[in-house]
Structure formats: C-alpha cells, structure tokens
Chains A and B, each alone.
Chain A
Amino acid sequence: MFQSFRGVVMAAALACAAVLPASPAGAVTLAEIQGRGAVRIGVLTGAPPNGMIDENGNPSGYDVDVANVLGRYLALPVKLVPLTPPARIPALQTGQVDFLIATLAPTGERAKTVMFTTPYSAFDLVVVTTPDKTFAKADDLKGKHVAVNRGSSQEAALRRAAIPGVEIVVYEDDSTSVQAVLSGQVDCAIVPSTVAQGVIKQMPGAMKQDFTFFSQGNSMATLLGDFELHQYLNTAIYVMKVSGELDRISVKWTGSPLPPNLPTF
C-alpha cells in the first residue's frame, strides 16, 4: 500500500518534471515569493510527531508549526504541500515548493543536490532502562544486553559504535524492546525519544530515560544556489532559537527542548 502510494507520488513528481521546463526550477527570490502572495512550503507526512495528518485531514506536527512561524515572519499566508520522504527533494527541484521543512537530515550525498540550513529540529535516540540501573555514556553499555528495533537507525548507530562486549538484542519493534527492558531480559533499550516519553508517561516509576545515544539534526532545504532564501531561513532559525519559539515547539511535540549541544553549521 505504502509502496504503491510512494510509487504514485514518484510518478506524479516525474510527470510534473516532464511538464515543467526541462531545467530545474531556478532560484526563488524573496521578492518573487512576496509578489506571489503566498509561500509554498514542503512538509513531511507520515512521520509523527514531526509531520503528520491530524484528525481533520490537515498537516500537523513540529514541521508545520515551524512553517507557520516562518509564514508569520514573512507576513505571508503559508501554503503547505504534504510530501512523502522520497518526494521531498524532487518536489523542491521541480519548483512545486519554495523550500522544505520536512525533517530532512543533512548528509554529504544530499548536499550535492540541495542546500541545507542549520538544524531546526533533532531526532534523539535515547537509552531507556529501569530505575535501578544508570547509563550515563556509551561506555556504560560495555558488556550489557541492549535492545533495538530491527533495521532501525538505532540498530545501525549501535553497530557502528562497536562498543566492546555489547550484546545487541534485536526485536521486531520498539514496543517489544521496551517490554524486554521491563521484564529484565535486557539491561536497556535504545528508542526514539518520543517513544521513550510515551512509555514513561504510561508507566511512571517503571522506566526512566538515560543518556542520548545518538542525535540527528534536521535541516530546512532550498535549491542549490538559492543563497538569498538560504540566508533568510538561517536568520529566521536563529531568531526562533533566541526568542524561545523553537524550544516551545520542540517541547510541544517531543517533550523536551532542542538539544543544546546540537552541532550547527
């Protein structure tokens, strides 16, 4: 179902690319956006709590809140364009959106096709355990049984870290990993912080969150060479950070403020 839906989106993106001028859409200046009277922002759907569709069928989540703050800064109505993960960069390249606020992690490979702003959100993978144990750093996992979800980014990160003597126990999903911690089958589990918050809320006293194993920043993205917009967005992110607006959005959706040690560029 999802596969075929993704196929449809990709086909639609390709069809648009064929109809629109063959060369990628050119850079958008702020004056052009203002002249048009609305800013088109690509957001992610299907990735709660960052981007999802609410009960009324409207886009909602962390990304949407950030997009609306930007709309206020620009004093323009925001036209949200819901996108699936594989459609994000094609939508930007074909000019369907002015820029992306779509939980896009900056990577070296992607940086060859789009320009990334400084991170505006972070995806934390945290260690959860029972109250009688404490894990403060990666070294504390030495010789321990650590549960992760099969094929997840936390499994990849844990294998990459190659902590000596760590026993990686793989379950089919995050909730089984958490269950394994609760019943003492493993010493701790690494789960997304949003999952950890949910578990701690459900069973206070039985689980606690220890250190952040891995933190992945997400950036807004503009077209290559779109320096004016890029600089505007970076400035806007700075303003959102110092005004506390970004932290408020982060607390609202993830339960904690933006990680203070998140590297920027």
Chain B
Amino acid sequence: MTYAFQFGVLNQYRDQLLAGLWLTVEISAVSIVAGTAFGIVLASLRSMAGRGTRIAVDTYVELIRNTPFLVQLFLIYFGLPAAGLRVGAVTAALIGMTVNLAAYSTEIVRSGIEAVHRSQIEAGEALGLTQVQVYRHVVLLPAIQKVYPALCSQFVLMMLASSICSAISTGELTAAAAFVQSQSYRSFEVYLAATALYLALALGLRGMLALLGLWLFGRRAARRALVPVVEASA
C-alpha cells in the first residue's frame, strides 16, 4: 500500500497549530518555573522541619509520583468543580502540571540535599557562616548543581506530558493536531508535523536550560544538561 503524503493541506490549518504550539510553550514555562520553586521549598522544608512535615511532604511526593498524570488531571478538572471551584481547562492543566512537577522536583532536589556531606556543613559553620548562609551556599546551591541534569530531564518530560492535557480539552499542540486531523483526515501529516514541533521544542528547551546552567553553575553542569549522562564518577 502506498500513501500519498499531502503536507500542503496543513498550511490552511497553520493558525490552529501555531496557537496550540504557543499554549504548549506557555503552560510548560509556567508549570516548570512554579513546579521547581515549590519543589525547592518542599525539599528544604523536609530537610529542616520536623517529623510531621517530613511525613506530609513524603506522602504528597509518593502520591503524585505513583499515580497517572491523566487521573490527576481528571480529578482536578472534574473534581474541583464538584467541590464548588470551577477551573477552566487551561487553569486545570496548569495546576495539574505544577502539582505533578513539584512532586518530582522535590524528590530530585531532596536527593541532592542528602548528597551534601555533613563535613561540608561543619566546615561552613567553622568558617563562621550563619545558618542561612550555610544552607544557601553550602547545601542548596551545590545540591541543585548536582541534580541539575536530572531536573532538566524532568522539565522536558513535563513539557512532553502536557500533551495529555488535550484529554480535558486544553487546546495545546496535541489538541490542535487532533482537531486538524478530524477536519482534514490527514493523520500522518498532522502527527508527523506535531512530532517535529515537539522535537524542536524539546531541543530548544534543552538548549535554554544548558545556557541557564552555564550562567548558574559554569561549563560542566551546562554540558551535562544538554546531554544528560549517568554520573559514574562524580
């Protein structure tokens, strides 16, 4: 069987596809920033506060990491209105992605914090740094530097997982592709185009994160953000 590709058809749906692409960029950017911020705060709280807080944070992290993203989205989109709070499809997507990414980044940052050796903290204290200074310069920043590649991978995964939000009628790239497909019946062309756009977005995001890493941590961390490698020796 031969299939005659007609990519020209996509041209008349360019606006819909670009609008979907833009929404994907927007919800990914907002949820990455917010999710990472929450993740750092929760991981720090967990390492400093008492047993109750640690159990609460761990419960949240394991609950989110061990349930499907789609189910989380359905609970937010269909469940919150039942509780009297109506959220739109874009808001629900933002909440869902932020909640999801916050859990993963909490876990990633936690592993970085726990990898900081006790003797380093003692060295900081011996130098006369305040508790806040020790936490900031000796614990948190080196911790984030260590786990930066893992965080970057999680960001890209979250951006790609935003396609799941099409199931709750968020008009992102996958939803736009599905709309074009249902109108034009050119599924191969549409989904190949969507694949290319996602690939470009992922590579672009990796490039930006590498630049950010270069600015924050210097050359080595940046290289690992671009091409994540399993740390064997570090």
List the count of A-B residue pairs having beta carbons below 8 Å apart.
35
Task: Please state if B81 and A150 are interface contacts (CB–CB under 8 Å).
Answer: no
Contact indicator A172/B167 (Cβ below 8 Å): yes
Q: Are B82 and A183 in contact (CB under 8 A)?
A: yes
A170 touches B169 (CB 8 A): yes
Interface residues of A in 116-172 (CB under 8 A from B): 147, 150-151, 155, 169-172
Output the least CB separation between B82 and chain A (Å): 6
B52 to chain A, nearest CB (A): 34
Q: Closest CB-CB distance, A4 to chain B, in whole Å?
A: 12
Residues of B within 8 A of A150 (CB): 178-179, 182
The docked-state distance in angstroms from the alpha carbon of A155 to that of B169 is 14
A183 to B169, CA, bound (A): 14
B78 neighbours in A (Cβ, 8 Å): 179-180, 182-183, 185
B167 closest partner in A (C-beta):
A172
A184 within 8 A of B: yes
Chain A contacts with B in 213-232, Cβ cutoff 8 A: none
Q: Which of B82, B86, B89, B182 has the most CB of A within 10 A?
A: B182
A180 to B175, CA, bound (A): 17
Contact of B77 with A by CB under 8 A: yes
Cross-interface CB contact of B169 among A151, A171, A184, cutoff 8 Å = A171
Chain A positions within 8 Å of B86 at CB level: 184-185
Residue of B nearest to A159 (CB): B183
Q: Is A176 an interface residue (CB 8 A)?
A: yes
The answer, among B81, B82, B169, for a CB contact under 8 Å with A169, is B169
Contact with B along A179-203 (1 / 0, CB 8 A): 1101111000000000000000000
Residues from chain A with Cβ under 8 Å of B169 in the complex: 147, 169-171, 180, 185
Closest residue of A by beta carbon distance from B166: A172
Cα-based distance from A6 to B100 in the complex (angstroms):
42
The answer to whether A183 touches B81, judged by C-beta atoms less than 8 angstroms apart, is yes
Knowing A180-B78, A183-B82, A185-B78, say if A151 contacts B167 (CB, 8 Å).
no
Cβ-defined contact, B182 with A176, below 8 A: no
In Å, the complex CA distance between A155 and B181 comes to: 13
A170: which of B77, B81, B179 is its contact (CB, 8 Å)?
B179
Task: Given A150-B182, A151-B182, A170-B175, check contact A185 B81 (CB 8 Å).
Answer: yes
| CB <8 Å contact, B77 and A185 | yes
CA A147 – CA B169 in complex, angstroms? 10
In the assembly, what is the distance between CA of A171 and CA of B182, in Å? Answer: 12
Q: Which of B187-201 contact A (CB under 8 A)?
A: none
Closest residue on chain B to residue A152 by CB atoms: B182
Contacts of B81 in A (CB 8 A): 183-185
Write the A76-100 contact mask toward B (1 if CB under 8 angstroms, else 0).
Answer: 0000000000000000000000000
A263 to B178, CA, bound (A): 34
For the complex, give the distance between the alpha carbons of A69 and B75 in Å.
Answer: 49
Is A176 a contact partner of B167 (Cβ separation < 8 A)?
yes
B87 to nearest A CB, angstroms?
9
8 Å CB interface, B55-98 against A:
77-79, 81-82, 86, 89
Q: Which chain A residues lie closer than 8 Å to B181 at the CB level?
A: 151
Closest A residue to B87 by CB, please name it. A185
- Which B residues are in CB contact (< 8 Å) with A151? 181-182
CA distance A15 to B190 in the complex (A): 34
CA–CA, A147 and B167, complex, Å: 13
Q: Tell me the bound Cα distance from A147 to B89 in angstroms.
A: 13
CB distance from B138 to the nearest CB of A (A): 48
What residues of A have a CB within 8 angstroms of the CB of B79 in the complex?
183
Contacts A183-B82, A185-B77 known; 4 new A-B pairs at CB < 8 A: A150-B182, A169-B89, A171-B168, A185-B78
7 A-B pairs in the complex with CB atoms less than 8 angstroms apart: A147-B169, A151-B181, A170-B175, A171-B167, A180-B169, A184-B81, A185-B81
